[in-house]
Amino acid sequence: MSDPLRVRLAALSRHRWFNRTWRAVITLIVIVWIFSRLDLTQFARVVVAPRWDALLGMVAAALIFVAIGGMKVWVLLRALAPVRLRLVLGYFVVATALGSFTPAALGDFSIAAFLRRENVPLHQGLSVMLVDRVISVATYVLVFTPLTFALLVRADQWWLLPVIFLAVAILGLLLNANRSVRGFTRTRLIRVFVPAAEDFARAISDLLRLYPLNLAGNVALTLVRSSVAGLVIQFALSAAHEQPAFFPVVCATNFLTVVNLLPISIGGLGIYEGSGVILFEQFGINGENALAALLYQRAYILLSSAFILFVFWLYSVRHSSDITARLA
């Protein structure tokens, strides 16, 4: 590829309209492909006749899933700042709803901006969110992804990857506990190459070194939350008249979370559902039923997020009006 062409492509990729256009095109292509390979009559028959008790179970499990996510953040945050759990849960719910219509990272890290209202420094809030996100994504990638492949190909060697991940994590914690290693990293690397991130890096290092119980609590809640995520899909599949084994559903659900993070389509739309249909078919689930279940989940996420953001907007408008009235 010639240099002028490379420069033009790089400049084009920085335009938001270009990124949105190609993601929209990929989303449309994947959606058309999904429906073209399925029996639409059977799919429509399943979608319009769900098991309502299972749908209620899906909603309940989804609420628990979000609550555990807020608790994960609070467990880390309370090591650095005395913030009440109720406030963190509220901010987390709003940020999660925001992430349903924006890039997921924007929704997650908006919590740091909300926490500034509680006098939590921005670098501390960002540090907590980054550590929480790294733990979550690492669990999805290094634990549930190999477990999913192990179930698909029935190869025992894939089960070794979570063990290796645990060993590397322990090694990283031990190195962070060494003062010389911390000093070298901060003064010779971060201060030289990214000085603006020094406070940020120190907060992460202190969190990992001085508060191991908070870190362990976050890891434990991450594993519990991953299981609850599988329970959400289990209920959704039950609503679509499927009764698969629970463990494969947990592994597949968390693997699909990794797929959903890929910046390929708009909010993972289409890619998540298409990957889910292919994956669940490998576990013996009917493709039409799998797609119906994933659409139940998608519909709940979008509707509940829109409602939460609307309520938050009304609250913000009323709160602003009260402040203006008191100042008048």
pTM of the model: 0.78
- Within a domain: 47: no
CA distance 205 to 189: 14
156 with 228, same domain: the answer is: yes
The pLDDT score that the predictor gives to residue 225 is 96
121 φψ region: left (φ > 0), alpha (ψ -120 to 50), beta (else): beta
20 with 82, same domain: the answer is: no
- Within a domain: 161: yes
21 with 58, same domain: the answer is: no
The pLDDT score that the predictor gives to residue 222 is 95
Condensed to tens digits (0 to 9), the pLDDT of residues 162-220 reads 677 777 777 777 777 777 877 777 776 776 677 766 666 776 677 777 788 888 899 89
Sign for the pseudo-dihedral over CA of 42, 48, 49, 54: positive
The pLDDT score that the predictor gives to residue 303 is 93
Kindly tell me if the per-residue pLDDT of 12 is higher than 80: no
- Within a domain: 320: yes
CA distance 234 to 285: 12
214 with 277, same domain: the answer is: yes
10 with 90, same domain: the answer is: no
79 with 190, same domain: the answer is: yes
Sign for the pseudo-dihedral over CA of 62, 66, 67, 71: positive
Cβ(74)–Cβ(320) below 8 Å: no
Count how many Cα atoms sit within 13 Å of the Cα of residue 216 in the half-sphere of its side chain. 6
Kindly tell me if the per-residue pLDDT of 241 is higher than 80: yes
Q: What's the average model confidence in pLDDT over 313-319?
A: 80
What are 265's two structure tokens? Answer: 């389509």
Query: Helix (H, G, I), strand (E, B), or coil: what is residue 230?
Result: helix
Q: What residue numbers bound the domain in which 12 lies? A: 1-30
- Within a domain: 42: no
- Within a domain: 46: no
17 with 107, same domain: the answer is: no
Mind giving me the DSSP string for 83-106?
--HHHHHHHHHHHHHHHTTS-HHH
24 CA to centre of own chain? 21
The conformation of residue 141, written as its DSSP 8-state character, comes to I
Condensed to tens digits (0 to 9), the pLDDT of residues 85-133 reads 998 898 899 988 887 777 656 666 778 778 888 778 777 778 788 888 8
23 with 77, same domain: the answer is: no
The conformation of residue 244, written as its DSSP 8-state character, comes to -
Cβ(34)–Cβ(273) below 8 Å: yes
Cβ(208)–Cβ(223) below 8 Å: no
Number of Cβ within a 10 Å radius of residue 1: 6
87 with 20, same domain: the answer is: no
Radius of gyration of the chain (CA): 22
CA distance 223 to 229: 10
22 with 94, same domain: the answer is: no
Cβ(116)–Cβ(196) below 8 Å: no
- Within a domain: 37: no
What are 78's two structure tokens? Answer: 């309370």
CA distance 92 to 108: 8
What are 228's two structure tokens? Answer: 């609850």
Condensed to tens digits (0 to 9), the pLDDT of residues 60-76 reads 999 999 999 999 999 98
Q: Of 298, 287, 237, which is closest to residue 34 (Cα–Cα)?
A: 287
- Within a domain: 201: yes
The conformation of residue 265, written as its DSSP 8-state character, comes to S
What are 92's two structure tokens? Answer: 């987390």
- Within a domain: 38: no
7 with 111, same domain: the answer is: no
Provide the number of structural domains found in the chain.
2
60 with 10, same domain: the answer is: no
Q: What is the largest CA-CA distance in the chain?
A: 71
